[in-house]
């Protein structure tokens, strides 16, 4: 008899398992359909000895000291400012847009944040309350920078026009007036020193936690006894698509190991306007490994159909309305708790997933 059956061994499932086992001294079974723990953050070493993320780059960042302290119980860190550039108009330019981006793109010599802000003010569109992802960028930096950096990248990544997406999609990317070239502003940035997989192994090492891999939870419902379920998968799948399928985006990865020390100037270069892929990631920049070879990964977005992994809930008004029908159904189930990016149909960052899981533990499990 288990106190909790947890469906999914990603961030939400592992955090909740750790809390229940270590704080409440209760027995937990994690059931995971994949052959590994760690969810989409799972990483591994390839044949060249380079550590890469199986499901695309997971650059950890947070300003939340408590979240950072919690995860630090299970890992040391390699602190690293995450740097991303964008390939546009034959140039490799900083993204998020900053002073250097504007100067290099337009041949200007702006020298102060005030001058850069004055430039943005001169080109932005007067939209007082942006209603979608496109309007948010237009109201901040104007149509040319929007078309150069955002429009096509967003269309490739999400499969729809930015006009159809929530403001939050582009609002999460800052626009800077100084020369700060970090992708994130957060105080804590980096990667687990020995990788995410090692961090998750430490997280669920308690003897009260059992893990069943390569198993669909439905196949064990009749054979395993438990008191409550925590479900971290796609909420529409749980309800057998009773109200219709929620759309998700997926990714196809093309890995290539090259006989050179480095391929590009930073860990990630975006390609908004050329090629079918959205970005190329070079892992060694972030992991800090020393190796005469390097591995790069090209990332091709696609719809999450035909059995493809579900990575991103698509944040639009219509999809939120459909999700709320499932959420109402979830509220009626007293013995099932829903938590996670797919279960909540929300585009969480990693620290937000951890915060959400810890909140669920405090409010729904401890009470």
- 209 with 347, same domain? yes
Torsion of CA 9, 36, 201, 69, to 10 degrees: -50
Do 231 and 112 fall into the same domain?
A: no
Cα separation, 89 vs 144, in Å, equals: 12
Evaluate whether residue 167 is within a structural domain.
Answer: yes
Mark whether 96 and 153 lie in a shared domain.
Answer: yes
Both 62 and 144 in one domain: the answer is no
- Taking CA atoms, 365 is separated from 266, 358, 361, in Å, by 43, 10, 5
Residue 176 lies in a domain: no
- Per-residue pLDDT of the chain in tens (367 residues, 90 and over written 9): 999 999 999 999 999 999 999 999 999 999 999 999 999 999 999 999 999 999 999 999 999 999 999 999 999 999 999 999 999 999 999 999 999 999 999 999 999 999 999 999 999 999 999 999 999 999 999 999 999 999 999 999 999 999 999 999 999 899 999 999 999 999 999 999 999 999 999 999 999 999 999 999 999 999 999 999 999 999 999 999 999 999 999 999 999 999 999 999 999 999 999 999 999 999 999 999 999 999 999 999 999 998 899 999 999 999 999 999 999 999 999 999 999 999 999 999 999 999 999 999 999 999 8
- Do 65 and 198 sit in the same domain of this protein? yes
- Cα 289 to the center of its chain, rounded Å: 23
Whether residue 201 is found in the same domain as residue 278: no
Q: Tell me whether residue 345 is in a domain.
A: yes
Q: Is residue 109 included in any domain, yes or no?
A: yes
Q: Are residues 204 and 318 in the same domain?
A: yes
Q: Please tell me the pTM assigned to this model.
A: 0.95
Q: Are residues 68 and 208 in the same domain?
A: yes
On the question of a cis peptide bond just before residue 104, with omega within 30 degrees of 0, the verdict is no
- What are the start-end ranges of the H helices in the chain? 11-24, 65-71, 99-106, 113-123, 133-145, 151-158, 168-171, 196-203, 235-238, 284-287, 317-331, 350-360
Q: Which structural domain range is residue 336 located in?
A: 2-81+193-246+313-366
């Amino acid at each position: 008899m288990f106190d909790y059956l947890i469906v999914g061994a990603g961030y939400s499932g592992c955090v909740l398992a750790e809390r229940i086992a270590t704080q409440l001294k209760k027995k937990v079974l994690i059931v995971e359909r994949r052959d590994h723990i760690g969810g989409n953050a799972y990483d591994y070493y390839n044949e060249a000895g380079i550590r890469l993320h199986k499901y695309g780059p997971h650059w950890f960042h947070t300003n939340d000291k408590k979240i950072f302290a919690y995860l630090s119980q299970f890992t040391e860190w390699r602190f690293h400012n995450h740097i991303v550039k964008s390939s546009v108009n034959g140039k490799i330019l900083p993204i998020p847009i900053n002073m250097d981006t504007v100067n290099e793109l337009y041949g200007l010599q702006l020298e102060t944040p005030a001058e850069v802000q004055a430039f943005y003010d001169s080109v932005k569109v007067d939209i007082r309350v942006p209603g979608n992802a496109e309007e948010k960028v237009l109201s901040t930096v104007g149509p040319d920078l929007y078309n150069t950096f955002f429009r096509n990248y967003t269309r490739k990544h999400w499969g729809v026009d930015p006009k159809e997406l929530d403001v939050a999609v582009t609002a999460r990317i800052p626009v800077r007036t100084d020369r700060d070239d970090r992708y994130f502003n957060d105080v804590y940035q980096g990667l687990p020193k020995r990788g995410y997989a090692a961090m998750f192994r430490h997280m669920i090492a308690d003897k009260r936690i059992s893990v069943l891999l390569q198993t669909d939870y439905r196949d064990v419902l009749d054979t395993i006894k438990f008191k409550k379920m925590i479900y971290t998968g796609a909420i529409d799948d749980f309800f057998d698509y009773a109200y219709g399928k929620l759309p998700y985006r997926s990714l196809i990865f093309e890995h290539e190991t090259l006989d050179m020390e480095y391929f590009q100037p930073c860990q990630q270069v975006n390609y908004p306007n050329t090629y079918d892929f959205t970005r190329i990631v070079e892992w060694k920049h972030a992991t800090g490994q020393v190796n005469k070879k390097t591995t790069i990964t090209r990332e091709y977005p696609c719809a999450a159909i035909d059995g493809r992994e579900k990575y991103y809930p698509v944040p639009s008004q219509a999809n939120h309305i459909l999700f709320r029908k499932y959420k109402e159904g979830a509220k009626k189930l007293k013995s099932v708790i829903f938590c996670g990016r797919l279960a909540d149909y929300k585009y969480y960052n990693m620290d937000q997933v951890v915060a959400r899981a810890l909140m669920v533990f405090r409010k729904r499990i401890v009470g």
